[in-house]
Structure 1
Amino acid sequence: MATAPRPRTSTRDPEELGRRLTAWLDGKLPGARITGITVPGSNGMSSETLLFDIEHPDTPIRACALRLAADPAAYTVFPSYDMSRQHRVMSLVAEHTDLPVPRVQWLEEDPGPLGAPFFVMARAEGRVPPDVMPYTYEGNWLHAATDAERAELQEESISLLARLHDQFPAKEAAFLLPEGDQGGSPLRRHVEAQRAYYEWVVKDLARSPLIERAFDRLAELWPEDEGEPVLNWGDARIGNVIYAPDGFRPVAVLDWEMASYAPREVDLGWTVYLHRFFQDLTVSFGQPGLPGFLRREDLERRYAELTGHTPRDMEFHTLYAALRHGIVMLRIAYRQAHFGEVEIPAAAEDVDGLILHHASLAAMVQGTYW
């Protein structure tokens, strides 16, 4: 099946990274050896992951993963990468909840050793639902699972979100509020931060009429009762979970860089929409995908049963998720153009076509998607 080439994810040399990492580690554990350095095939564009083992009698962890902020010279997807913030969030989640968050170890805020800040955490072994080709396509372990097995994974996954929102003391997450209008509600400040991100993406480049219509539609759908804020995982989706090698139980919850202090539905809307993104993409290529998996009505019902909180204003929140994802997709398209992988349309009105899910985003704006 023909698809667009996967955008490049790094401009760094893994071997050079390994040499520099070894030199840095010698200051923490003199005489330690680093072995088995690998770069996962699913390495993202927002930050990079390096997997390795440490050989030393006093090492606190042996099997390690390193999260490295994106190369600032590589047309980054986001304006900034606060690794200390991620390190703090993961430490707090491990302290206050029973979620299987990897143990975080060293944090290095000095960009000198590897060219950007990073932290080291324990590595979990298992299976991750793939993004490329997405788990909704035929030929991967999750698609090949039985309905009962996928139902188990769905139950375990929505439970992660419910437990995070219920167990984490909400006020402990207030430090995640974006800068801006100190009188604005957490939801308004969250949306304004996304608007600022959009302005950064399109600076000196073509604007997206569709994204701007989506912001206007959000204003029309704004909830009368926004709900109390909680710690949001941020990138709440099954592609950021490692499941047991021989089962469907989560063994590690990853990627906390988008964590926020916002209503519960911001997280839930992202979970619902990111699955729809992959499902819609799969259907557009002539495959059925997984139509009975991670359905919006099932996730909302089960979340309510687990937490006692009935999700509300979900048309707003799924539109908001699709809008946020659209801004990311536009930035990735402009990044691909920077590296000569795609061409930017000559006509400004065609820019919306760079957003991979522009049709579903437009349908949400029009109120016809669901």
Structure 2
Amino acid sequence: MSAAPRPRTTTRDPEELTRRLSAWLATLPQALDSARTGGTPIPAPRVTAATVPASNGMSSETLLFDIDHPDLGVRSCALRLAADPAAYTIFPRYDMPRQYRTMELVADRTDLPVPRTLWLEEDPAHLGAPFFVMARATGRVPPDVMPYTYEGSWLHDATDAERDRLEAASVSVLARLHDQLPATSAEFLALPGAGTPLRRHVDAQHAYYTWVVDGLPRSPLIERGFAWLADHWPEDPGGTVLTWGDARIGNIVYDGFEPTAVLDWEMAALGPRELDLGWMIYLHRFFQDLTESSGQPGLPDLLRRDRVESRYAHLTGHQPRAMEFHTLYAALRHAIVMLRVAYRQVHFGEQSVPADADGLILHRDTLEAMLAGRYW
């Protein structure tokens, strides 16, 4: 595997987005009340210092900005905007109220550091899609581009002891989420369908794959992966918790090596604990394998599967189960996303449709090795 150029993610103009966001802020009741104070017109709040993060996600978009308010001064914020409908979206649907509600619930019912939510706007007329605004967290994030496993990143340059602190604190995020928030408090995150939450989760992923390949070449490798899951289904899927979904260190803001904000609740759902554990373990391995393929050593001792499982068991009393299943499932889910990203590149003329769809999957060799039982 080798690093590929970053594909196009939006058709939106950041300057136009900033202008429209300023116009929307001026319509808020707080802004209108401020403008009437003392009968003297006061300038409406405006957006300043707007920037798009260099590691902006491949799905929903993020805009960092300040609000310059006549009465309140400057407030640092982050906008989370549903994917650009004109940009060949990664997912078929973006439920911003669901994300917003999830963040409010986690902030209210756990001690996890979740950014404070400020406003939810469901009307797409303002910015072209629903969005919400939250307080901006300060700190640093392990980057995706170039991956934090590459030489030169702040995490790569840290000491072994510092990375160990980060790993322990990150696994603790999962343990506390799963232990502190009862699934009964988050029934709105139950996926549709029949059967156990794990069955519903896998069925939803299969439906997503079907959507991705509609009218395009199918992936024999991904389809083999689903067949493998059916043949190796856990006898006991385990209890149900609220799973973060995109549980990886690239979605955590750190102060030093301690989490200060847990971000990106787009993929949250009810399911077994191992969904999050498998995703955290595998997404690191994805970057690690990518780094090794480029000739660098990476961070082979970070987020090792055995140590993550041991730390989690110590914190929760729950011994992770069926982890071969869940790490392969994480790699399979990631393969579907990678296939969609590649087909978006085809859509924008950044590459042509290949004869072999499996060649679009960056971690093809890893998934092949997992299916053959020789990866771990």
Contact persistence 1:48–1:68 (CA under 8 A): yes
Contact persistence 1:186–1:229 (CA under 8 A): yes
One-letter code of the match for 1:234?
G
In structure 2, the residue matched to 1:361 is: 367
| Structure 2 counterpart SS, 1:144 | coil
Give CA-to-partner distance per residue, 1:6-64, whole Å, 9 cap, x none.
Answer: 11121100110111011110011231122111111111121111111112255598110
One-letter code of the match for 2:11?
T
Tell me which moved more, 326-335 or 27-36: 27-36
Q: Say whether residues 1:94 and 2:107 are aligned partners.
A: yes
In structure 2, the residue matched to 1:24 is: 24
Alpha-carbon distance in structure 1 between the residues aligned to 2:172 and 2:334:
24
Alpha-carbon distance in structure 2 between the residues aligned to 1:57 and 1:316:
55
- Distance change (3 Å), C-alpha of 1:2 and 1:175: closer
In structure 2, the residue matched to 1:342 is: 351
Contact persistence 1:134–1:278 (CA under 8 A): yes
In structure 2, the residue matched to 1:137 is: 150
| 1:2 CA drift (Å) | 7.3
Alpha-carbon distance in structure 2 between the residues aligned to 1:4 and 1:355:
12
Q: Say whether residues 1:292 and 2:275 are aligned partners.
A: no
Alpha-carbon distance in structure 2 between the residues aligned to 1:190 and 1:37:
37
Contact persistence 2:10–2:87 (CA under 8 A): yes
- Distance change (3 Å), C-alpha of 1:230 and 1:23: same
In structure 2, the residue matched to 1:215 is: 226
In structure 2, the residue matched to 1:274 is: 283
Tell me which moved more, 159-168 or 47-56: 47-56
Contact persistence 1:229–1:264 (CA under 8 A): yes
In structure 1, the residue matched to 2:39 is: none
In structure 1, the residue matched to 2:117 is: 104
Alpha-carbon distance in structure 2 between the residues aligned to 1:273 and 1:242:
20
One-letter code of the match for 1:154?
E
| Structure 2 counterpart SS, 1:121 | strand
Q: Say whether residues 1:199 and 2:210 are aligned partners.
A: yes
Contact persistence 1:177–1:190 (CA under 8 A): no
In structure 2, the residue matched to 1:118 is: 131
When the two structures are superposed, what TM-score results if normalisation uses the length of structure 2?
0.94
| 1:3 CA drift (Å) | 3.4
In structure 1, the residue matched to 2:168 is: 155
In structure 1, the residue matched to 2:177 is: 164
Contact persistence 1:90–1:101 (CA under 8 A): yes
Q: Say whether residues 1:321 and 2:323 are aligned partners.
A: no
* Among 155, 177, 183, the residue aligned to 2:190: 177
Alpha-carbon distance in structure 2 between the residues aligned to 1:58 and 1:42:
33
| Structure 2 counterpart SS, 1:62 | strand
One-letter code of the match for 2:66?
D
In structure 1, the residue matched to 2:36 is: none
Alpha-carbon distance in structure 1 between the residues aligned to 2:250 and 2:74:
24
Tell me which moved more, 307-316 or 38-47: 38-47
In structure 2, the residue matched to 1:38 is: 51
One-letter code of the match for 1:195?
H
Give CA-to-partner distance per residue, 1:128-149, whole Å, 9 cap, x none.
Answer: 0010110011011000000000
* % identical equivalent positions: 72
| 1:175 CA drift (Å) | 1.5
Unaligned stretches of 5+ residues in structure 2: 33-43
One-letter code of the match for 1:168?
L
| 1:180 CA drift (Å) | 2.1
In structure 1, the residue matched to 2:14 is: 14
Contact persistence 1:178–1:189 (CA under 8 A): yes
Give CA-to-partner distance per residue, 1:120-165, whole Å, 9 cap, x none.
Answer: 0000111100101100110110000000000010011000010000
Give CA-to-partner distance per residue, 1:62-112, whole Å, 9 cap, x none.
Answer: 110000000111100000100000000000000000000000010000000
Alpha-carbon distance in structure 1 between the residues aligned to 2:146 and 2:332:
23
In structure 1, the residue matched to 2:38 is: none
Contact persistence 2:137–2:261 (CA under 8 A): yes
Alpha-carbon distance in structure 1 between the residues aligned to 2:3 and 2:270:
36
- CA RMSD across the alignment: 1.4
In structure 2, the residue matched to 1:303 is: 312
Alpha-carbon distance in structure 2 between the residues aligned to 1:159 and 1:88:
23
| 1:343 CA drift (Å) | 1.9
| 1:176 CA drift (Å) | 1.1
Runs of 4+ in 1 over 3 A off after TM superposition: 57-61
One-letter code of the match for 1:361?
L
Alpha-carbon distance in structure 2 between the residues aligned to 1:112 and 1:59:
27
Give CA-to-partner distance per residue, 1:155-188, whole Å, 9 cap, x none.
Answer: 110000100000112211221122222xx11000
One-letter code of the match for 2:303?
L
| 1:252 CA drift (Å) | 0.6
Contact persistence 1:61–1:122 (CA under 8 A): no
- Distance change (3 Å), C-alpha of 1:3 and 1:13: same
Alpha-carbon distance in structure 1 between the residues aligned to 2:218 and 2:128:
32
